[in-house]
Every structure is written in structure tokens, then in C-alpha cells.
Amino acid sequence: MLFVDKHRPKSLADLSYHEDLSERLRGLADSEDLPHLLFYGPSGAGKKTRIHALIKELFGPGAHKLKIDQRVFLNPSKRKIDVNIISSTYHQEITPSDAAGYDRLVIQDVLKEIAQTQQVDVSAKHRFKVVVINEADSLSRDAQSALRRTMEKYMGNLRLILCATSTSKIIAPIRSRCLLIRVAAPNEKQMTSVLHHVAKKEKFHLPDNVAAQIYADSGGNLRKAVLVLEALRMQSPDLSGPISIAQPDWELYIHKMCDSLLSEQTPQRLLAIRNNLYELLVHAIPPKTIIKSMVDYLVTRVDESLRIGIVEKAAFFEGRTKSSNKAIFHLEAFAVAVMTMIKSLYMGIEWDE
């Protein structure tokens, strides 16, 4: 089992940072009137860990006895849509955005079914069921509207816990019906404390300089930091000598593709970049991650006058990928936009958006 799963805290008492937030969640769990909740914060900050710890606080250890079911939904054209649902006796966890443009269908069917069934455990402390919705900020507006109606209609025996990276893409009626809980990324002291705790549990010494290097590489993502720690441990059991943190192959591949884009802006080069993008998608790299990695790399290597334009185009085409079944079209359009901006700069032409 990976360190990140083996040493994941199971209860609020086990969480070692943001103690004030843990205390707040403990107070909510003891309340007779738990509101709908919206957890938001950067990736790897610990949102899901806190959500699962809260559910355990609400219902006890039985909430960790999980099973995975695959539900099949039929869209209006009778096409089958497969969605995985993680559930216990007390809660269900879904990711409606996995259904692409049919997330509204998943929201309506699943939540209506759950809301109309009573809590089966008569000894449970709370009589409502909990539904965790992952990637809530990736839901379409139609799905969010359906979610809002469900929140109003079934409040009596259903509580929603939404998990999102940002609240900016969640409609105001949903935000106003939820208690917003921000989970910030751990700072250096907090993250290194967790890394030393994992190392102690695994019975090896973690030098302070290595912990600092892992923190700098992780960008505040604790999940990534623990994975990197395990990778370094496998490379060098005593973590002595110079330590090199390897980048993922897909990230290096994107950097190489960006270098290719920067070096030449021609139809032939665009064709090669299209093939690169197809390769990334085939290997299950999400379009959002591809665009973000491209932007992070490009803005450090282009003229300062182009940076704002690249970020704006990235935001535009990243939004397009969410509402389309053909992400490649929008990824390629983003590459074309960047190539056009660079070519215009080199030729001394004022770029027209």
C-alpha cells in the first residue's frame, strides 16, 4: 500500500494541521442541524481527507466500510453512461463530471433515489444520509441548477457535501445554501511535520534538507509530497547523498512539446503538436492539466507582453474543453492561438484578439 493511503488520517483527531478547522468540523458533527457544506481549496490540501473524517465523526467507524458500484445511466439518445459510486451504509460519493455533458442526468437520478430512501441504520446518530459530490466546480450550469432544486426539496433526510478547487464556477444559489469551508494548503512547517511523521512510522530518518526540497517541489500539494517521499525512499533507502526529484514523464513530454511550439510556428509544426496532444489524451492526462502545464511552462519562456494573452486564452479554451466531447479541438485551438501571438510578435505585427 502506498504511503499516501497507508498513513491517511481516518478521524478528525488524527489530523495534524489546521487544528482550528478540525475543531470547527467536530462542532458541526455534534450539531443536530448539520447544513450543506462546500469544501474548497487547492489540490492536495486535504479536502477529501477532512470530508471522510467528518463523515466518520457523524456516523462512526461504519462509514469507512466502503464498496464501489458501477451505475449505468441512459442519455436521451439511449447511449449508456457508466459512473462509479462509492458508498457505505451512511453515505454515497459521486463524481458527476465523469459523465461529461450528462452530469445533470446523474445528479437528478442519484440524488432523487438517495433522498427518497430513509436511513437504514436505526441506531445511527443522525437520521439523514450524506452525499459527497467531487469536482463540484466542474459541474455544468444545468447540473448545478438541478442540484439547487434537490437541496431545497430533500433537506429533511439528505445532506450534501461538495468538494471543489474554487467557488468561482459554482452558481450563487448553491453557495448561499452551503456553509463554505476553506481548506488551505499546508505551509512548510506543517508539511515537513507530516513528512517526518510518515518517515517515523516507516522507521527511517528524513533529513531536514530533503524535507525542504520535497516541500519546494510539491507546490503545497501534500499528496504529491508524500508520493515523492516514497519515490525517494525507494531510490535511496537512507536518503543520503544528492537527492534528485524526477518530474513525471507526461510533464517532461509537455515541456518538450512547448519548446517545439516556441521554436517554430508553421502548419507542419502544428501537425506535430496535434499528435503530441493526442498522445497525452490517450494516456489519460486531463485536458485541464495539459493546458495548465503548458501555461506554467510557456509564461516563463515568452516575452512579457504575451503572458497575459496566453493566460486569457488558456482560461477560455480550458472552459471550452469542459462542455465538449472533443477536447483535442480546443487544445489544438489554444496551441494555434499561442503560435499566432508569438509569430505576430516576431513579425512586428500588433496581434488582434
Of 83, 62, 57, 66, nearest in space to 5 by CA: 66
Helices (H), the chain: 3-6, 19-30, 47-59, 103-115, 141-153, 172-176, 188-201, 208-218, 222-235, 249-263, 267-282, 287-298, 304-322, 327-347
**pLDDT value at residue 291:** 93
Above 60 in pLDDT, residue 350? Answer: no
Distance separating alpha carbons of residues 56 and 63, to the nearest angstrom: 6
Contacts of 56 by beta carbon, 8 Å cutoff, 6+ apart:
10, 11, 12, 63, 64
Dihedrals φ, ψ of 157, to 5°? -130, 25
Mean pLDDT of 62-73: 80
pLDDT band at 273 (very low <50, low <70, confident <90, very high): very high
Distance separating alpha carbons of residues 276 and 260, to the nearest angstrom: 10
Q: b/e string for 260-280 if b means 16 or more Cβ within 10 A?
A: ebeeebeeeebeebeebbeeb
pLDDT band at 89 (very low <50, low <70, confident <90, very high): confident
The percent of residues in the chain predicted with pLDDT above 90, rounded, is 25
Between 153 and 180, name the one with better pLDDT. Answer: 180
Q: Count CB neighbours of 138 within 10 A.
A: 17
Task: List domains and CATH numbers for the chain.
Answer: 3-182 (3.40.50.300), 188-235 (no CATH), 249-347 (1.20.272.10)
Residue type at position 206: L
Lowest mean pLDDT among 22-26, 106-110, 210-214: 106-110
Contacts of 12 by beta carbon, 8 Å cutoff, 6+ apart:
22, 25, 26, 29, 50, 53, 54, 56, 57
Lowest mean pLDDT among 69-83, 177-191, 248-262: 69-83
Mean pLDDT of 18-24: 90
Distance separating alpha carbons of residues 50 and 53, to the nearest angstrom: 5
The pTM of this model reads 0.79
Mean pLDDT of 50-61: 88
**pLDDT value at residue 95:** 85
CA–CA distances in Å: residue 340 to residues 75, 198, 275, 286, 292: 39, 48, 19, 24, 19
pLDDT band at 242 (very low <50, low <70, confident <90, very high): low
- Contact of 139 with 103, CB cutoff 8 Å: yes
* Bridge partners, 84 (sequence order): 70
Model confidence over 282-340: pLDDT tens digits?
988 888 889 999 999 999 888 888 889 999 999 899 888 876 778 899 999 999 999 99
CA angle, residues 261, 272, 279, in degrees to nearest 5: 105
Between 217 and 40, name the one with better pLDDT. Answer: 40
Mean pLDDT of 31-56: 89
**pLDDT value at residue 88:** 84
Above 80 in pLDDT, residue 112? Answer: no
**pLDDT value at residue 1:** 73
**pLDDT value at residue 120:** 53
Between 261 and 240, name the one with better pLDDT. Answer: 261
Distance separating alpha carbons of residues 232 and 72, to the nearest angstrom: 41
pLDDT band at 349 (very low <50, low <70, confident <90, very high): low
Contacts of 192 by beta carbon, 8 Å cutoff, 6+ apart:
208, 211, 212, 215
Mean pLDDT of 90-118: 76
Model confidence over 127-153: pLDDT tens digits?
788 889 988 888 888 888 888 887 777
